[in-house]
């Protein structure tokens, strides 16, 4: 009898744990029904967010990603003994993936959309409309992935700022470090000699090496930022890309402004704020707070631009979905 009751309770728990159904995809994201085999192939490639050529050029672990990791380690170093471990993981995670999405947006998604809209002016074929829809979807999806990253980034920065405001925690960790150094000073001579035998002699070489590595990281990131700007300047404004009379009601200038502001915010984060952490001493929590505030401000600015792009992109997606279905 007890076993049967136990089985009943287990069955009830399993029913409660059943996941809820996913809501259907909104109309503007439905795939046009008329798709050629070639379009399906392109869509499968687009779902990876990067064709083969792009993966070879900027896959995770490329030079810029590795150099970005150096800067993120510098930030973690300020909070290593003061902040929660998952907060440090979160800020590194968000900045790495935000960099990757911005890189994809300005080096791949927007330039390819520009190329297909230029082709539409000459061909006006259903297949071209489908490709424009697909690349608009790629841009839209990229922004959708960036938005939660910015939300998480702003949230974790608030947690780090609370850590900085906790003077007791901040000062205690420095006192613990001082106590540890004093204990090492008062070690017995025999133990002190054995400890010194295990450690290499101090020199200026590690400091010079760290400075060289940091300068190389900053230079590599700056080169990537310049490449984003170069690609963005080559783009045809959205008002010219979609100059059809049927699209006149859509405020496409909002898209041009939004993508320009997004690029400025990304440049401020990866070309200005992160490199400036190198100039701050670990105990200068006021300067660290100022940099974190700047970082959060740029993240919030990006969130505003995501909202601005939502209406025009949705209208464009619906327009080209209808053209693709209508042939």
Confirm whether 31 is domain-assigned.
Answer: no
The token pair that represents 253 in the structure block: 């200038």
Report percent pLDDT > 90 for the chain: 41
Confirm whether 128 is domain-assigned.
Answer: yes
Please list the ranges in the chain whose pLDDT falls under 70. 1-63, 120-124, 167-207, 326-327
Say what the pLDDT of residue 327 is: 56
Confirm whether 242 is domain-assigned.
Answer: yes
Among residues 272, 284, 139, the alpha carbon closest in space to that of 218 is found at 272
CA of residue 95 relative to chain centroid, distance: 5
Mean pLDDT computed over every residue of the chain: 76
Residue with token string 């200038």: 253
C-beta separation of 131 from 39 below 8 A: yes
Confirm whether 8 is domain-assigned.
Answer: no
Q: Exposed e or buried b for every residue in 66-81, given b needs 16+ CB within 10 A?
A: ebbebbbebbbebbee
Domain count, the chain: 1
Taking each helix axis as running N to C, give the angle between helix 285-326 and helix 253-268, from 0 to 180 degrees, rounded to the nearest 10.
150
Question: What is the domain range of residue 161?
Answer: 61-166+213-327
Distance CA 215, CA 221 (A): 10
In tens, the pLDDT along 71-112 reads: 888 888 888 777 788 888 999 999 999 999 999 999 999 999
**DSSP state string for 31-48:** PPS---HHHHHHHHHHHT
Distance CA 96, CA 269 (A): 12
The token pair that represents 35 in the structure block: 């798709």
pTM, to two decimals: 0.72
Say what the pLDDT of residue 63 is: 62
């Amino acid at each position: 009898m007890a076993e049967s009751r136990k089985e009943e309770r287990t069955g009830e728990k399993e029913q409660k744990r059943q996941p809820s159904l996913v809501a259907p995809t909104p109309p503007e994201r439905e795939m046009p029904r008329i798709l050629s085999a070639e379009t399906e192939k392109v869509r499968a490639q687009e779902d990876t967010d990067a064709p083969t050529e792009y993966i070879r050029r900027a896959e995770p672990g490329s030079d810029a990603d590795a150099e970005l990791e150096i800067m993120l380690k510098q930030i973690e170093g300020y909070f290593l003994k003061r902040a929660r471990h998952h907060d440090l993981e979160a800020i590194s995670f968000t900045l790495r993936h935000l960099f990757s999405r911005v890189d994809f947006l300005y080096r791949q998604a927007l330039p390819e959309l520009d190329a297909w809209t230029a082709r539409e002016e000459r061909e006006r074929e259903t297949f071209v409309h489908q490709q424009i829809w697909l690349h608009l979807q790629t841009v839209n999806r990229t922004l959708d992935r960036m938005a939660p990253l910015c939300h998480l980034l702003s949230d974790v920065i608030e947690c780090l700022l609370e850590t900085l405001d906790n003077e007791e925690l901040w000062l205690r960790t420095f006192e613990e470090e001082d106590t540890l150094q004093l204990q090492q000073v008062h070690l017995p001579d025999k133990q002190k000699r054995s400890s010194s035998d295990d450690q290499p002699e101090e020199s200026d070489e590690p400091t010079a090496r760290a400075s060289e590595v940091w300068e190389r990281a900053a230079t590599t990131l700056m080169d990537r930022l310049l490449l984003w700007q170069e690609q963005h300047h080559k783009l045809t404004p959205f008002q010219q890309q979609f100059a059809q009379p049927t699209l006149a009601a859509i405020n496409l200038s909002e898209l041009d402004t939004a993508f320009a502001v997004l690029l400025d915010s990304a440049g401020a984060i990866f070309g200005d704020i992160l490199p400036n952490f190198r100039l701050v001493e670990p105990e200068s929590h006021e300067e660290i707070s100022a940099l974190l505030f700047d970082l959060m401000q740029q993240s919030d600015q990006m969130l505003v631009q995501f909202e601005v792009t939502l209406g025009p992109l949705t209208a464009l997606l619906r327009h080209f979905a209808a053209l693709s279905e209508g042939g």
